[in-house]
Chains A and B, each alone.
Chain A
Amino acid sequence: MIELIELRKKYNKLAVLKGISTKFNQSECIALIGPNGCGKTTLIKSILGMVLPDSGEITFNNKSIFNETDYRNYIGYMPQIGKYPENMSIGQIVEMMKELRGGHLSFDEDLYKVYKLDQILNKRMRTLSGGTTQKVSAALAFMFNPLVYILDEPTAGLDPISAEILKEKMLLEKSKGKLILITSHLLSDLEELVSEIVFMQDGELLIHQTVEELKNKTGEEKLSKAISTILKAQLK
């Protein structure tokens, strides 16, 4: 569904992506993991067209995404730190997004309702706590029934209950055959959700394997242990 071919990006002289090639398919839930600054967010932002890679190719449904915007109709994006116009209220943001993404007859308002955002519609974005802003981001990412979810550290700022709600929502969407791309540090969080693991380090893609393969190979039961075993092996 999404294919990356030899993706390279430099910020000034710092190479952030050093030739990433991989493929993400439908009905998968892919965890993008790696230490801070390894290029996860840059990779995600390249897929969204927010960062323009220096060379390489990204295709969405076999069509190049460069100079295209329509494919973003099929993506729901939840940023790591949601930045919203400070003077707008939650209600105005939601209305604006609905207008901008036009052409939808029905909206998926599950999260919006479970998080009780409809009760604080008049609150301005600058008065919201970090967690509430994350809830707004999540609600917006799931609102337009996209085919692909790109979630950058989705559970980072959320309280355990809200995070659990979000995970259940992700499971539900995965069962509908959608592609979910998550970056996270907390592997234990993703245990029951993830079907493939992509591990990045210093702008390079070290591992891209299914969870089954990983567990069989290492003989470990827990995902986090399996990955650390693999990494140790690689470092030697």
Chain B
Amino acid sequence: MNRIIKFVMLDILRNKIILFYTLLLAIMSFSMFSLEDNEAKGLLSLLNLILLNVPLVAIIFSTIYIYNSSEFIELLISQPIKRNKIWISLYLGLNTSLIISFIIGAGIPILLYSPNLIGIILIVMGCIISVIFTSLAFLCSIIARDKAKGIGMSILIWLFFSLLFDGLIMFLLFQLADYPMENWIAIIAALNPIDLSRIVILLQLDLSAMLGFTGAVFKQTFGTGWGIFFSSSLLFLWKIIPFMISLRKFNKKDH
């Protein structure tokens, strides 16, 4: 397994995009911390930026990378290597590269300016979000044979989770205002990994004002302790399930 991961990682490093991504994260983090006068505010602004940019880069970069690796995959498939191993190695290689560049780009400034629990949780969440959206990228690229379709699908997924989802929930709630919908809404909110990670961090910060609508409902329904436990386990599922589905499809794919 290690050898394939090694090839994938070397290949990604040779690709300059990942370096630009690291640089972008570093510029973002340093400027957020220098712009705001206290570190909690800086952390919050950075949180929003991270939750917008990290999923975008993770899903688009991974989708394109998987399509571009089709020759590499085809070459390996005729060799004495298990299909599981090829796909999992690709997943681990991509994830490791994205996580490393996140930790260098955003992790170091966060630890410099805010060396506390919240800072560390923000770093962990950034990594988790990278993994989740890479996992979704694997699903997109195995569902669509056509590259343009696959990339389009991954852009839509990102757009849906980062921009449309909150609006949809708000709309639902206003439409159904006459019914006791809060618990249902909390559960629906849990279906969005970006919202979930925002909730985990904000529950930690105990800043109800910043929770956003879904966060507030979530806190009201589950309370802080259960909320964190529940959302962390859901995030875990988000990392595993799309990838597992793609793995099953990959094992049955003809080349």
Contact = CB atoms under 8 A, between A and B. Distances in A.
Contacts of A45: 254-255
A99 B81 CA distance: 12
A50 B252 CA distance: 10
Interface residues of B, number: 21
Contacts of B72: 84-85
Interface stretch (A72-80, A109-117, A199-207, A227-235): A72-80
Contacts of A121: none
B236 to A, nearest CB: 29
Given A86-B71, A87-B14, A72 B255 contact: no
A48 B72 CA distance: 16
Contacts of B82: 69
B79 interface: yes
A13 interface: no
Contacts of B80: 69-73, 101
Interface string A50-89: 1110000000000000000111110001010001111110
Interface in B1-31: 3-4, 7, 11, 14
A228 B148 CA distance: 45
A97 B79 contact: yes
Contacts of A99: 3
Nearest to B253: A52
Interface in B53-88: 69-72, 74-82
A131 interface: no
Contacts of A51: 254-255
Interface of A: 11, 45, 48-52, 69-73, 77, 79, 83-88, 96-97, 99-101
Given A49-B77, A49-B78, 11 more contacts: A45-B255, A50-B78, A51-B255, A52-B252, A77-B78, A84-B72, A85-B72, A86-B71, A96-B7, A99-B3, A100-B4
Interface of B: 3-4, 7, 11, 14, 69-72, 74-82, 252, 254-255
29 contacts: A45-B254, A45-B255, A48-B77, A48-B78, A49-B77, A49-B78, A50-B77, A50-B254, A50-B255, A51-B254, A51-B255, A52-B252, A69-B80, A70-B80, A71-B80, A72-B79, A77-B78, A84-B71, A84-B75, A85-B11, A85-B71, A87-B11, A88-B11, A96-B7, A99-B3, A100-B4, A100-B76, A100-B79, A100-B81
